[in-house]
Structure 1
């Protein structure tokens, strides 16, 4: 190297040093002194490998020997551990040795490492990431873009962004919005921009995406577009909004069965739950009764079962009061139907009203999103059923007030006519007695009978006045025991006979039911004018009709033309021989949701039938 070249290499920004054919330093510029942290005086004439022995195990010897032996230029990057520096080395051979240029690229390598890490992150994320230059041409595309849009990334790079919007099936108006958002971010009008856009997925299905645009600092790209598929979230929001709309329909109904039908079909149509049903608690008998089901449920099972207390998972969940998911029914014990075709199911209590159950023929069909949506549906259904209950209570109270008004009017009619008749009978009997001793043997029985009837009439009126058409808490009663208690409190003569054919139990208000039997017995006693035989038996168990019981007496029969009138508290003709008696029996029966009728026996007498006693159960044959 000539001395005239020294000033030139001293002025270059790279470190430069020269080696002779024996790899001895012949020259170093100032930048090389700084980079190697040694002065020229220390290194000139010395062998590089001796002065920097740590380089022997690096690419320096291999690269420099190759350049010298083959007389070709070489370049490589190397990390100098001792100096903690990355170097880019370029060696140019000549007959006299090597000219070596070295550049500190530590900062660049750090940037490249960071960029590589960022690129790895971008490549790993599930969102599509596309970078654009100022001409709106695509610079980079990550792998998720291919998954979301179904496009080959190699076909997108270098293309205008319109290629992407066309490929995704984005409509013209939305494409314009995307272009405007990119411009706003690129020119600094906005720090970021976000849009929700409908697009067509790789399978040709309609989907929703969220486009976010942010500025970036890159040698070529200026804007990054992050595209996230939000179809599931969008659908979830749509379903939740629809569920709130359905809540309005639920609250407009006051019929529990209609409310449950709306809930079931909402689950089927909105939540894609084709095998679903709702069961409501039948409070009187204590079981869960199916009231609504999807067509899929009926197709699969041919009808929904009734669940008695303690049967299957349904009762466990209902009593626990919390929604439960069963991913794999094949691993669950205590199934109501071990042969069920269902593989997974969700059971959701509707407050204390009942449960909603939905199932699938596949295991692990449901997830937390399904649980959230079903929970929302059953909560809205519970609110609607609560409202329906309140409305029913209000209607019942209104109807009861109307019945009380009618009843008071009826009582007034009875008091004004029947008591008047009884007092006139007493007066007539007294007028027939002319002796001074106040003895009237002919009238005595008439007066006593009349006063007894007046007393019974007052008792009946008192019972009506205290609201015979309502009942208190129902408990399970033994029919024979209730009959025995009623006999002892009735007007039956000592020699009267009551024959009970068949033992049974039923649920009823003990006081009201006892008064029903007592009043029926008093009616027979009043018509018998003495001893009477009463047969009591069960009906509906053998003939397939509604369950109940009958009372057949051998007293004077009530004429067929008067059967309806004796059940009417306003009746004031000769058929009302026992005051409000049978009308009171009918009122108490109706309060229990039973039906009461009066007919004649095959061999005479009067037969009172109480039907629709759904809780009646035989205790022995």
Structure 2
């Protein structure tokens, strides 16, 4: 802008000539020029100093209000040092005084070009710095800016958030406050590297926040230099990777654990991908198939070819391959599928479909079940042996079967069975020939002289890796090393030995104990059989004597009694003596005794015929068979029981007769509370049952007979069922003994207690079939 239009146009023309790229606008009016500047973008302003209405410096102030950085050149003809000084102080970009000639225009053009380039460079730098500043401030990464001395000059919000410090607490300082002591050397090494190499570094280290929390961070460091290699600034950006680091550590730990588990599993494992290629295989699987390969060499192999190669090891090779193909096609889980190797060993295989990141996969697991199958076969054989043992008839036969089973079934080829004999000790009853060849004649063990006696006495089995270490060994020079000694209850011990140490494992102990249990059961069976046979022999002898006795009673006693009765009748015809009445009563008493004795002797046979019997009906029948006088009966049950009808009838008749006779309300002259004491079943002509109430009812597992008489004193209840027990001189003492005998032949129990008022006899252990209605009086 100039106040001389001609000069203005001339200057513009020379400038365009000197620099054709210039776009020039001219004005002689400061106000108009100012308006143009507002409306258009100008890279430079050239103004004279002396102008109408305003000076060049005043015009500069107005321009600076609009754009404080645009280049402003004062091009004046009336210049002076004072104006120049004021112009520089006012902030003009350049000052040029007009002169004669055209060279000044070339100088002006050059000054304009330099000013604009400088302006544009600064503006670009400012914009770049602004963008960088915004980038740093808005970056999600924590950013710390250092100068060339590694003094912090700037931190962003993200850095403050992670470190826990305010910007003012960090700016002007170093990294020391947030670097843990144990990380300082590493961070110092990074700083040295940045100073020396002026390059970028990536490092991961811990920081400590203002609150003292330790966090894992990843750092990205960069030195920024100018074209001359001088350091402009140093940036360190970082992010909190604590959670990611922990996840990574857990993944690493999990990978290590899984790898370790995979390699140490007692089962063989094979994983395939969607293309049936081996992803992973462990040593155990290769061992199961007898392959001396490195698992890493198998990874990537074709599983179909691998299966075809393995097939030859199985008893049914074709089925092995076909089954694998069908299972992988169906992708349904398979559990514990048994496979038999050509060697006879057995495997079990399980399959499970899996999902891999790149598609479906397959997981196979193989188990060696050869030992389990062997144990199962041994258990089956032991089960058969148990049947043979239970059929044995003697202890010696049991021992022989047991020794043979221990050898052939359990593989205990050196074994013997010693059975206890009182006064002698543990006597060898049976043993293998191999055992005798190793140790010679089998010894008899006595109290406290051996491991065998200790096991027999304590009932605790002993499994010894080396018998020489046991102070209780029988023979200090024994060739036996490993020993397994198992107790046979109170019967003895089973001993197995071996010339090698550590010969027996837990499986031998368990299976040996199974055999020992079967031997004990068989020996108990033999004992029971022997006792039954002895009992049968005693019963046979007893029955023979009883039959002989019954013959004597029925013939040799009845005949003289009949003669005496006849003579008595003759005597009465001749005389009416009161002594003859006493003789008649004695004869009646003798007849009753003979009847009762015959009942005891001839009905003691244990052979009974059990049938369902109704208690109500048989009780009423028995009531009709007994001389009851004025006594009354209350039958409170319709229960049906399994019993021998004849013996049940005799039992009830004796109990009812006993209740009527002992419970009579007519007191004896001696004041003992009844006409006949308990234990007497003798018929009394003076017992009319006056006032006696008798009840027959059901109770748990049986029935009872109860009266309202004087009862039985507690001290006498243990004796009332004994043969011949009676408190009445006229009683036989056999009635309740017959009741007990009839109960025992059924396997029942009979007892006496106190009822509501009198005596109560309870019969339990009865097989109750059913009831037509609800019993009363139970319990």
TM-score by length of 2: 0.42
Whether the 8 Å CA contact 1:327–1:364 is kept in 2: the answer is yes
Whether the 8 Å CA contact 2:378–2:410 is kept in 1: the answer is yes
Residue 150 of structure 2 corresponds to which residue in structure 1?
23
Give the drift of 1:275.
1.0
> 2: CA distance between counterparts of 1:261 and 1:103?
83
Whether the 8 Å CA contact 2:180–2:206 is kept in 1: the answer is no
Residue 336 of structure 2 corresponds to which residue in structure 1?
195
How do residues 76-155 of structure 1 correspond to structure 2 at under 5 angstroms? 76-82=203-209, 83-95=213-225, 96-125=232-261, 126-127=264-265, 132=271, 135=274, 139=279, 151-155=293-297
Aligned pair in 2 of structure 1 residues 408, 131: CA closer, same or farther (>3 Å)? closer
Q: Is the counterpart of residue 379 in structure 1 residue 379 in structure 2?
A: no
Aligned pair in 2 of structure 1 residues 108, 332: CA closer, same or farther (>3 Å)? same
> 2: CA distance between counterparts of 1:42 and 1:183?
67
Query: For structure 1, which runs of at least 5 residues remain unmatched after alignment?
Result: 412-621
SS at match of 1:386: helix
How do residues 314-325 of structure 1 correspond to structure 2 at under 5 angstroms? 314-325=452-463
Deviations 1:548-572 (A, max 9, x none): xxxxxxxxxxxxxxxxxxxxxxxxx
> 2: CA distance between counterparts of 1:74 and 1:143?
43
Residue 32 of structure 2 corresponds to which residue in structure 1?
none
Residue 61 of structure 1 corresponds to which residue in structure 2?
188
SS at match of 1:340: coil
Tell me how large the CA RMSD over aligned residues is. 4.8
Q: Is the counterpart of residue 261 in structure 1 residue 404 in structure 2?
A: no
Aligned pair in 2 of structure 1 residues 343, 183: CA closer, same or farther (>3 Å)? same
> 2: CA distance between counterparts of 1:309 and 1:52?
81
Give the drift of 1:381.
1.3
SS at match of 1:365: coil
Give the drift of 1:79.
1.9
Residue 762 of structure 2 corresponds to which residue in structure 1?
none
> 1: CA distance between counterparts of 2:416 and 2:186?
76
Q: 1:240 aligns with which of 371, 375, 379?
A: 379
SS at match of 1:338: coil
Give the drift of 1:342.
0.5
Q: Is the counterpart of residue 278 in structure 1 residue 410 in structure 2?
A: no
Whether the 8 Å CA contact 2:178–2:208 is kept in 1: the answer is no
Aligned pair in 2 of structure 1 residues 354, 194: CA closer, same or farther (>3 Å)? same
> 2: CA distance between counterparts of 1:68 and 1:199?
72
Give the drift of 1:5.
4.4
Give the drift of 1:358.
0.5
Whether the 8 Å CA contact 2:179–2:208 is kept in 1: the answer is no
Whether the 8 Å CA contact 1:327–1:344 is kept in 2: the answer is yes
Aligned pair in 2 of structure 1 residues 91, 157: CA closer, same or farther (>3 Å)? farther
Deviations 1:265-314 (A, max 9, x none): 3222333322111123456x734443332242133134433445665333
Deviations 1:523-559 (A, max 9, x none): xxxxxxxxxxxxxxxxxxxxxxxxxxxxxxxxxxxxx
Q: 1:339 aligns with which of 472, 477, 486?
A: 477
Whether the 8 Å CA contact 1:151–1:167 is kept in 2: the answer is no
> 2: CA distance between counterparts of 1:70 and 1:103?
24
Residue 293 of structure 1 corresponds to which residue in structure 2?
431
Work out which of the two has the higher radius of gyration on C-alpha atoms and give 1 or 2: 2
Moved more, 270-279 or 366-375: 366-375
Aligned pair in 2 of structure 1 residues 129, 274: CA closer, same or farther (>3 Å)? closer
> 1: CA distance between counterparts of 2:272 and 2:238?
33
Whether the 8 Å CA contact 2:143–2:155 is kept in 1: the answer is yes
Give the drift of 1:111.
1.9
SS at match of 1:57: helix
> 1: CA distance between counterparts of 2:166 and 2:424?
101
Residue 359 of structure 1 corresponds to which residue in structure 2?
497
> 1: CA distance between counterparts of 2:310 and 2:156?
57
Give the drift of 1:244.
2.7
Q: Is the counterpart of residue 37 in structure 1 residue 179 in structure 2?
A: no
Give the drift of 1:356.
0.9
Deviations 1:219-259 (A, max 9, x none): 99988777665655554455334423432332244354343
Aligned pair in 2 of structure 1 residues 39, 366: CA closer, same or farther (>3 Å)? same
How do residues 201-240 of structure 1 correspond to structure 2 at under 5 angstroms? 206=345, 208=347, 232=371, 235-240=374-379
Whether the 8 Å CA contact 1:325–1:347 is kept in 2: the answer is yes
> 1: CA distance between counterparts of 2:150 and 2:391?
97
Residue 434 of structure 1 corresponds to which residue in structure 2?
none
Deviations 1:334-368 (A, max 9, x none): 54333210013122222233321101212333344
Aligned pair in 2 of structure 1 residues 172, 336: CA closer, same or farther (>3 Å)? same
Whether the 8 Å CA contact 2:163–2:208 is kept in 1: the answer is no
> 1: CA distance between counterparts of 2:306 and 2:489?
51
Number of corresponding residues: 401
How do residues 147-546 of structure 1 correspond to structure 2 at under 5 angstroms? 151-159=293-301, 194-195=335-336, 198=339, 206=345, 208=347, 232=371, 235-282=374-421, 286-307=424-445, 311-394=449-532
Give the drift of 1:57.
0.8
> 2: CA distance between counterparts of 1:107 and 1:217?
26
Whether the 8 Å CA contact 2:270–2:285 is kept in 1: the answer is no
> 1: CA distance between counterparts of 2:364 and 2:371?
21
Aligned pair in 2 of structure 1 residues 133, 257: CA closer, same or farther (>3 Å)? same
> 1: CA distance between counterparts of 2:359 and 2:186?
33
> 2: CA distance between counterparts of 1:31 and 1:221?
43
Give the drift of 1:200.
7.2
